[in-house]
Amino acid sequence: MSELTQNVSRRAAAGDPVALTRALVAIPSVNPVLEDGGAGEKAIAQQCRVWLEAWGFRVRVEEVAPDRFNVIALHRSPSSGASLILNGHLDTVGVQDMASPPFGGEVLDGKVWGRGACDMKGGLALILATARALAHEGHVGELTVALTADEEHASVGMQEFVKGVQ
């Protein structure tokens, strides 16, 4: 692992949103329904699990369709209060014909480049950074992080998550 990769990994584990975005972009999660050979959500779900568990969340990774995964993480405060759900999706569209390296996660001109940087790995990074901050700085009630599969096609991950909430 290069020094740059180690630095990004260390900063991501500390909840830095730019480093989280870069780390997430580097993990292929192309929806396999949209592109042959797409990796799906397994690897990115496992990495999110590692971070969330390190930040004190109780985490489960659920297979919601064959080889398609959600991450559901829960952090309860000792103080009662309202519940908050932070939700985003783990899959991306395909990488065919991309002009830049799809999984580079490089920062150029102040922007992170790669598949999913805008939809939705940058958003996932903000969800994760917020979840970490709330877990460490305190919140009331119950905080749920729901990272779901397959938004780019049929939203099977969100459908399964909603079934569990009802």
**Active site residue ranges:** 91, 151
| DSSP tally for the chain: helices H, then strands E | 5, 6
- Count CB atoms within 10 A of the CB of residue 56: 13
Name the nearest CA neighbour of 117 among 45, 33, 26, 38: 26
Q: Which two tokens stand for residue 17?
A: 């949103």
What is the identity of the amino acid at 71? V
What is the identity of the amino acid at 164? G
- Count CB atoms within 10 A of the CB of residue 89: 25
SS3 107: strand
Look up tokens 């990074």; give the residue.
Answer: 125
Taking a C-beta distance cutoff of 8 angstroms, is the pair 143, 135 a contact? yes
